[in-house]
Amino acid sequence: MKSIVLCTENIEKRFGGVIALKDGSIEIRPGEVLALVGSNGSGKSTLTKVITGVLSSDGGTITYHDKPVSYSNPMAAQRAGIMAVYQELSLIPSLTVAQNIWLANEPKTRFGSIDSKTMNAETAKLLTLFEGTFQPSLHPEAYVRDLPLDERQIVEILKAYSRKPEVLILDEATASLDSKQVNCLFDLIQLLKSEDKGLVFVSHRMDEIFRIADRAVILRNGKTVGEVLIADSNEDEIVHLMVGSNVGLTRELGGRMTFSAQESVLIVEDLENEQLNGVSFNIKQGELVGIGGLRGQGQSSLLHTLFGNSHYTGKITLFDETLSFDHPKEAIEHGVALIPGDRATEGLLLLRSIFENFHLPNWAKYCRPLLKMKSAHSDAEEMGKQLNLIMESLDAPVSSLSGGNAQKVVIGKWLLREPKLLLLDDPTKGVDVGTKSEFYKLLVKLQENGTTILFYSSDEQELLDLCERVLVMQDGKVKADLSGDNLTEANLVFHSMGATNNNNHHEESTHA
């Protein structure tokens, strides 16, 4: 048994009323790669951020080199030798590669000024670790702003490596790398392993976990639920631990509807842009289709593209018409509505009243040419009642509403238009349980009235409860199309993680 370099016990973290982490316990051992595994919202990232001092914990202890520690900021953790590489990069675009790598850690000359020569030479040495996997435009004096995403990720990794960390945490660091670059990274990890450093590898790719990790800790709903030795385990066991025993849950709101010989209203072929790598699927009239997968796999981009808010190549056929929307306006005129993910930045006019927010897409209806405020007011009143909106008055600013009620306004503004295709971008994030169940009822009611719904959610349970079919996305592609008996939580998680060599969860393509 090797000694332990860093261990966390029962770490807790709350964001307002939401508990992100209840019992985060891991042990990091020198010369070993620990994989941290869990589905969306299981608390992986929160735990790593608590360790590196990005977030403060609300309970539990961190022991580092046998001493209890707690870092109030990332700089303090870095000084102690704990480094992390995140998927969201922290490089400064207007500085060169070398300046970024040595930022706040610059080699000095005898006179105390920055020794650029040494800095660039050292950087060139570091870059040889990834030799042959990047363009010649990546060199110590290149500006980071001119580099593509994968090369920036390499710089970020080298920056962490150059600080000679005792503990290195790689949080989804492979997401933007190609296979050659991943190989180089894994060589680097092996090198650190041989130097007895502690390594934490957070990834949603099963194959990578099995290639590089020695041990895996599985998190579920903010709790450490298991630990396995990779050599003695398999993908099934890990997926099972991630999902827990709650398999076989069925939809609470009536049985799943089945769709047979109906026309497809939305046909998407080979959709491509920065986030999408060839998405194809079709949806039938009145279907409620879920979009699953881990966060950031192109789900939002897909919805925005269908709504005309993003450039793309490929073909979209909606209601037997081949379309190319340049602006959301055109999509709206074709009966499409989008309920965006972030209420504050994309959904609401926070300074304006509830009344105005309700009617923003609907004013054309009240033009005579001056707006008929009275009838608009009574329509909004009606909609507020229908949605069971708890408010002071329609003229109160929308910012005075709670999260759930504010989301009702975002939905209500589209319902007044009676959309034919409703796109939802993770709409229940940060919404309380009561409002959520009202919201589910509303969706089912809309579906019964013939609205076709495409529903992205980062909450697997929600997808299982509501949808008759779920498209699982990974890397900007539809990885699996699950429906009927194949639509289980295990299958959802399994395909989200990009697992492949599995027999028990074999899925037949039901793609028509």
Partner 1 sequence: MKNILKKITWENFKKFNSKYSYLVSFILLLALATIINPRYFSYRNLSTLVLQASIKGIITLGMSMVIIAGLIDLSVGSMVALTSGLGVVVLNATGNAWIMLAFCLVFGTILGAINGLLVTKGKIAPFIVTLATMSMYRSIIVQLGQGGPFNVDLALVDKFRMIAAGNILGIPNLAVIFAITTIIISLVMAKTKFGRYVYAVGSNEQAAKLTGIHVDRVKTMTFTITGLLTGLAAFLLASRLTSITAPNAGVSFELDAIAGVAIGGIAMTGGSGVIAGSFLGAIMLQMIEGILIAAKIPPFLNGLVKGAIIIFTVLLQHRNITQRKMRLKAKSADKEEAVKANPVE
**44 or 420, CB closer to partner 1?**
420
Beta carbon of residue 29, minimum distance to partner 1 (angstroms, whole number): 39
Residues 271, 42: Cα–Cα separation, whole Å: 31
**Is there a contact between 161 and 128 (Cβ–Cβ < 8 Å)?**
no
**67 or 374, CB closer to partner 1?**
374
CA R_g for the chain: 25
Structure tokens at 501: 């060599």
**14 or 193, CB closer to partner 1?**
14
Which residues of this protein are in contact with partner 1, per CB under 8 A?
Answer: 16-17, 307, 309, 327-329, 331-333, 338, 340, 345-352, 356, 359-361, 363-364, 367, 369-371, 373, 399-400, 402-403, 413, 432-434, 437
Beta carbon of residue 469, minimum distance to partner 1 (angstroms, whole number): 26
Q: In this structure, what DSSP letter does residue 345 have?
A: I
Beta carbon of residue 14, minimum distance to partner 1 (angstroms, whole number): 11
**115 or 432, CB closer to partner 1?**
432
Residues contacting residue 88 through CB under 8 Å, at least 6 positions apart: none
**272 or 346, CB closer to partner 1?**
346
Beta carbon of residue 413, minimum distance to partner 1 (angstroms, whole number): 7
Beta carbon of residue 145, minimum distance to partner 1 (angstroms, whole number): 18
Residues 510, 512: Cα–Cα separation, whole Å: 6
**259 or 366, CB closer to partner 1?**
366
| DSSP states of 412-423 | HHHHTT--SEEE
3-class DSSP state of 331: helix
**136 or 369, CB closer to partner 1?**
369
Beta carbon of residue 343, minimum distance to partner 1 (angstroms, whole number): 9
3-class DSSP state of 17: coil
**223 or 359, CB closer to partner 1?**
359
Beta carbon of residue 396, minimum distance to partner 1 (angstroms, whole number): 11
**22 or 240, CB closer to partner 1?**
22
Residues 404, 399: Cα–Cα separation, whole Å: 12
Residues 183, 170: Cα–Cα separation, whole Å: 15
Q: What distance, in Å, lies between the first and last C-alpha atoms of the chain? A: 53
Q: Whose CA is closest to 472, among 453, 487, 484, 461?
A: 487
Beta carbon of residue 434, minimum distance to partner 1 (angstroms, whole number): 3
Backbone phi, psi, residue 47, to 5°: -65, -45
How many Cα atoms within 13 Å fall on the side-chain side of residue 365? 17
Beta carbon of residue 304, minimum distance to partner 1 (angstroms, whole number): 8
Q: Whose CA is closest to 183, among 149, 132, 234?
A: 132
Residues 182, 170: Cα–Cα separation, whole Å: 12
Residues 50, 8: Cα–Cα separation, whole Å: 10
